Amino acid sequence: MEDYRVRYQQWLEDPFIDEETKAELRGITDENEIKERFFKELEFGTGGLRGIIGNGSNRLNRYTVGKASQGLANYIKKEGTQKQGVAIAYDSRFMSPEFAEVAGLIFAANGIPAYVYPSLRPVPMLSFAVRELGCTAGVVLTASHNPPEYNGYKVYWADGAQVVAPRDKGIITEVNAVENFGQIQRMEKAEAVEKKLYTLIGEEVDEAFDRNVQAQLMNPEMIARMGDKLNIVYTPLHGSGNLPVRRNLAKAGFKNVFIVKEQELPDSSFSTVDYPNPEDTKVFTLARKLAAEVNADVLIGTDPDCDRMGAMVKDSEGNFVALTGNMVGALATDYILSQRKEQGRLPANGVVVKTIVSTEMITPICRAYGVGKIDVLTGFKYIGEQIKGFEETGSHTYLFGFEESYGCLAGTYARDKDGVYAAVLVCEMAAYYKEKSMTLYEALLKLYEKYGYYRDGVKSMTMKGLEGMARIQRIMKTFRENTPKELGGYKVVMAKDYQTQVFRNLETGEESGSPLPVSDVLHYTLEDGTWVCIRPSGTEPKLKFYIGVKADDLQAAQDKVDALDADIEAKVAEIA
């Protein structure tokens, strides 16, 4: 009998799985459906779980969530920090509140107090709560901007950041050691509440979070002058950002905030969009309609768990253009550093942190202000890890961090990207430049004139299921074993393999080691300074190609990106 059939039969015979679940599984008539659900265990990776909601070993359900929670509880008990408790948050996705309660009651059954938000909250508020409440760990039920059929289980440690090595491996070992569902400890909610092992997080934590967001404002006096002159359209895309974003915009002093009513309330189906991702400009269709009615200056949108923020602003002709994560990162870096310098608050050991797939435009901006720049692997947890290191050693003062995928953070109150703060920041910058009779896009053009015309692109190839996973592995193996001689018509001069940890200069043959941890990432530098990076997504069935170029003008830069995009497509098509 094949492995997936063995797992399927085990679930049908398991005395700890309820009859309703078993009946649903018995009713599956498509053999391929059984295979998809049971061909493997849903892997608890370095960030936790993420998968399609449903019954089966390769699905997210109360049993796979239970196994993850019991494994995390076992790890916490071995660390001896169980009395500190675990903070839990969830977003607007299907089963998020139910999974949050399942996790909380398992922690309670293990003698670990669970502090649970009473309703949906953004990821950064969970990161903040872990630190504010002095918890040993945190869990948030979310699948970020994935399609509605997905959900996930993300784990944070006491510093408020997602777990990193070696702690992540320790937790994974404990989760994998839970071999059957009978090992999962359980407690009734009434008993957990009575024993003070299951407690709802109070409004005072929300208020403390808001105070920290407001503390990041660079120029509150300017906002006081411009707060009623900037028209803002905001869409929470049916997610957790609705209340905290509006609350913080109001506290900052922005008076004219218009909400996209059709996308205001939680909706697990995200029924007004194909895909609740603010990186996709199609999600702003309704926002743009409202913008025309209210003469908006800026449109902002946050994803369901409100750790990412996308924006559209007017160009010189009054047409709305999208700001990519890299554009926001460059604008914010320049704005924060310039304001700090003007106010005499730019520390000598200041540093900006970005991921290796984010724009290189940050390098000359940081150089101009005399601050450092550090590159880390993809994933905001690595930025959070840097912040923790700075606090422990005093080596640097963290000023700002961002990644190309629309996430950023200033301040150290949270250790994950914060869509609430990002929304306030973009509106502050828009107000600052409006006072100077400029749009935010015109401010970006000024940066290009000063530092060079940088352009970045991301090509995502979706490859679903068992076959898709195998194809992603074949493509990565082919590129790893056969370094391309050229990409987009330019010679490849440097190949960096973060998995083998070997960096190779293709012109001299010289090899060096990687300064960053092991990761399934390939990075190529071309003869003109252009770079291309390849990595499988850690959260979706996608293979991602990142492109970064610099040219003499925007059109030339876009032409380079387009040429690389076409060449990558052709090279991938050749791989069986």
Residue 358: give its domain's CATH number: 3.40.120.10
Residues 6+ apart with CB under 8 A from 282: 273, 274, 275
Q: In the listed set 451, 483, 514, which residue is the last one of a domain according to the structure?
A: 451
Q: Is residue 221 part of a domain?
A: no
CA distance 122 to 244: 8
445 and 309 within one domain:
yes
- The pair phi, psi for residue 322, each rounded to 5°, is -85, 140
pLDDT recorded at residue 537 = 87
427-439 burial, b at 16+ Cβ within 10 Å, e below that, comes to bbbbbbbbeeebb
430 and 562 assigned to the same domain: no
CA distance linking residue 105 with residue 192, whole number of Å:
7
Number of domains in the chain: 4
pLDDT tens, position by position, 381-391: 999 999 999 99
Q: Are residues 437 and 553 in the same domain?
A: no
Asked whether residue 219 is domain-assigned, the answer is no
Check the CA dihedral 222-228-229-230 and report its sign: positive
Q: Are residues 179 and 86 in the same domain?
A: yes
- CA-CA-CA-CA torsion for 211, 217, 219, 220, nearest 10 degrees? -30
Q: Are residues 264 and 382 in the same domain?
A: yes
Asked if 179 and 98 sit in the same domain, the reply is yes
Alpha carbons 409 and 401: distance in angstroms, whole number: 6
Element (H, E) at 232: strand 231-235
**What's the confidence (pLDDT) of residue 44?**
84
**100 belongs to a structural domain:** yes
Domain-located, residue 546: yes
Q: How far apart are CA 381 and CA 47, in angstroms?
A: 9
Per-block average pLDDT, block size 10, for the chain (576 residues)?
90 96 96 94 84 96 97 98 98 97 98 98 98 98 92 97 92 94 97 98 98 98 98 98 98 98 97 93 97 98 97 94 97 98 98 97 98 96 96 97 96 97 98 97 97 95 88 95 95 97 96 94 96 89 95 95 95 89
AA identity, residue 262: E
CA distance 290 to 303: 19
The answer to whether residues 395 and 512 belong to one domain is no
Residue 375 within any structural domain of the chain: yes
495 lies in some domain: yes
How far apart CA 430 and CA 169 sit, in angstroms, is: 43
- Assess whether 198 and 311 both reside in one domain: no
Distance CA 79, CA 12 (A): 35
Give the domain-ending residue among 411, 426, 451.
Answer: 451
- Identify the CATH number of the domain in which residue 557 sits: 3.30.310.50
* Closest of 292, 245, 235, 291 to residue 267, by C-alpha: 235
Q: In this structure, are 230 and 373 located in the same domain?
A: yes
Q: pLDDT over 70 for what percent of the chain? A: 100
Give the pLDDT score at 1: 64
Our CA angle for 28, 31, 36, nearest 5°, is 90
Find where tokens 């008539």 sit.
29
Assess whether 177 and 250 both reside in one domain: no
Q: Tokens standing for 471?
A: 């194809």
Query: What are the structure tokens assigned to 23, written together?
Result: 């009946």
Distances (CA, A) of 363 to 231, 326, 429: 33, 13, 21
List the structure tokens of 576. 């069986």
6 is in which domain, residue-wise?
1-39
Instruction: Give 209-263 pLDDT, tens digit per residue.
Output: 999 999 999 999 999 999 999 999 999 999 999 999 999 999 999 999 999 999 9
In a domain, 217, yes or no: no
Same domain for 189 and 261? no
Of 342, 336, 345, give the one whose Cα is nearest residue 353: 336
CA angle 290, 293, 299 (to 5 degrees): 45
Distance set, CA 162 to CA 29, 176, 325, 542 (Å) = 39, 19, 21, 22
- Same domain (yes/no): 67, 188: yes
Which of these three, 401, 431, 451, is where a domain ends?
451
Please indicate, yes or no, if residue 60 is contained in any of the structural domains. yes
Element spanning 9, H or E: helix 3-13
> Would you give the end-to-end CA distance of the chain in angstroms?
29
Catalytic residues: 144
pLDDT at 229: 98
